[in-house]
Chain A
Amino acid sequence: MARIIFACAYDIFVFISDRDVLLPDSRYYSITGQYVALLLKGYDKGSITTDILPKDWHGREIFFNALKDTRLSGIHFSNFFKEEYLFFYIVGIIYFLIGYFPIFIRVFNIVMSMASVYLFFRISRRHFGELAANLFLLAALLSPTHFFYSAMLSKDILRLFIMTVILWGIYG
């Protein structure tokens, strides 16, 4: 809950100031995800009008780079094995379903982060007992890294979750 409150407050801060100070990369993922959402809505490169484009020059530059990227010309199966493009697709799907609200990407990342910690908790409880598992849970939930970065628009959480699932598959 604390993470979601922080994510909402930070989202408002980013919206007002137009600067993502904790993770400047977020804008890149968000705008490219926006482009993927347009593809899902049925737009193609020729039908995108200027009113859909981001208003500032930096956002437009990111958007035009996405337009030029041949790997993003559609939804390709091979892209699911590249974490960056997989994250673009996830962001695009969320924007397609809910609309252009970055807060939902933040909530998605928070859920992934908490799920990763929970899977590690399960592994720890199975192999090392309740006390060790509870200590780990306390340290991991209060860890500033996970607290702050789970609320960002970052592909690192997706990578963390996938690798945690693999480790849980081996040791869970």
Chain B
Amino acid sequence: MMIRRIEDIVTVLLLSLLVFSAGFILSSADFWIFAEEIKDDVKAKITDLFYSHLYGIETEGRPYFLLSEDAHSKFLKEGLSVGIFFIVLMNSIFNVLFQPVFLSPLTPQVLLNAVALPFFIYGAIRYFKKIPIMILSFFLLSFYMATRGGAVIEALIRHAMLCELIYLMVSSAGFTGWITKKSF
């Protein structure tokens, strides 16, 4: 009982500190000055990541995936846009899921991932409140891997084994949730 009370007090103190700090940061000009200073660096880093991703897809990935011809050149001419961001995000997730172990797009694993996709989407939406960090980790890790090292090499399935396990878990939950219509 005593320990519970101390835990509650510590939790309240930490939350108060967090709220106070967040309020100060957001309402003071210091955060704005810091954001302005790092804005160019952050933009340059993000541009580099997107460039390496699109370049990797164009040079290494062309034999394996159906890609639009002009995504890379459009990015160089126009810079980052919503469309380019969407292409990179989708490429990342699909390269992680559907990249074969061997040089063939029709391995059983890829077929299983393709069949499980609707159940994964259903499970991710239905169970997002239960396991938000896990689902977000799946998307963020896929995105990070495919943009950091190259769309084809870094998204190699052995680098994305955690994403695969999350995918299988959420798909099986979505499948059983679908067929039983039970809410856990």
A residues at B contact (CB < 8 Å)? 23, 116-117, 120, 123-124, 127-129, 131-133, 135-136, 139-140, 143-146, 148-149, 154, 156-157, 159-160, 163-164, 167, 170-171
Q: How far is the CB of B64 from chain A (nearest CB, A)?
A: 17
Residues 111-142 of B at the A interface (beta carbon under 8 Å): 112, 127, 130-131, 133-134, 137
Not counting A116-B165, A132-B175, A144-B101, a sample of 16 additional A-B residue pairs whose C-beta atoms are within 8 angstroms of each other reads A117-B165, A120-B166, A124-B172, A127-B127, A128-B176, A129-B182, A136-B168, A136-B172, A139-B171, A140-B165, A144-B108, A145-B109, A145-B158, A146-B164, A164-B165, A167-B134
Chain B residues with CB under 8 Å of A154's CB are: 158
As a 0/1 sequence over residues 138 to 175 of chain B, the CB contacts with chain A under 8 angstroms (1 = contact) are 00000000000000000001110110111011011101
Nearest chain B residue, comparing its CB with the CB of A137 = B172
Whether the pair A127, B184 counts as a contact (CB closer than 8 A) is yes
Asked whether, in the complex, the Cβ of A129 is within 8 Å of the Cβ of B184, the reply is yes
Q: Which residue of A lies closest to B102 (CB)?
A: A144
The dominant DSSP class at the A interface is helix
Q: Given A167-B133, A167-B134, A171-B134, does the pair A124, B101 have CB atoms closer than 8 Å?
A: no
Assuming A127-B184, A128-B127, A145-B157, is B162 touching A160 (CB within 8 A)? yes
Known: A132-B176, A145-B101. A140 touches B158 (CB 8 A): no
Candidates B127, B161, B171, B173; contact of A145 at CB < 8 Å: B161
A–B complex contacts, Cβ < 8 Å, 26 sampled: A120-B165, A127-B131, A127-B184, A128-B169, A129-B184, A131-B176, A132-B176, A132-B177, A133-B172, A135-B176, A136-B172, A136-B173, A144-B101, A145-B101, A145-B157, A145-B164, A149-B158, A149-B161, A154-B158, A156-B158, A159-B162, A160-B162, A160-B165, A164-B165, A167-B134, A171-B133
B180 at the interface (CB under 8 A from A): yes
Q: Is B11 close to A, CB under 8 A?
A: no
Count, chain B residues at interface, CB 8 A: 30
Does B16 have its Cβ within 8 Å of any Cβ on chain A? no
- The CA-CA distance from A139 to B158 in the complex, in Å, is 16
Q: Of B164, B175, B184, which one neighbours A143 at CB under 8 angstroms?
A: B164
Find chain A residues with CB under 8 A from B101 CB. Answer: 144-145, 148
B residues within 8 A CB of A144? 101, 107-109
Please count the residue pairs between chain A and chain B whose beta carbons lie under 8 angstroms apart in the complex: 85
Are B169 and A123 neighbours in the complex by a CB distance under 8 Å? yes
Do A132 and B173 have beta carbons less than 8 Å apart? Answer: yes
- Chain A nearest Cβ from B41, distance in angstroms: 24
User: Contact string, B90-110, partner A, CB cutoff 8 A, digits 1/0?
Assistant: 000000000001000001110
A135 and B175 form a contact (CB under 8 A):
yes
Residues of A within 8 A of B171 (CB): 139
Select which of A120, A129, A146, A170 is within 8 A of B169 by beta carbon: A120
- A128 and B161 form a contact (CB under 8 A): no
Q: Is the CB of A127 within 8 A of B130?
A: yes
Residues of A within 8 A of B157 (CB): 145
Quick one: which of B133, B172, B177, B180 contacts A139, CB cutoff 8 A? B172
Are A143 and B169 in contact (CB-based, < 8 A)? no
State how many angstroms separate the Cβ of A61 from the closest Cβ of chain B: 22
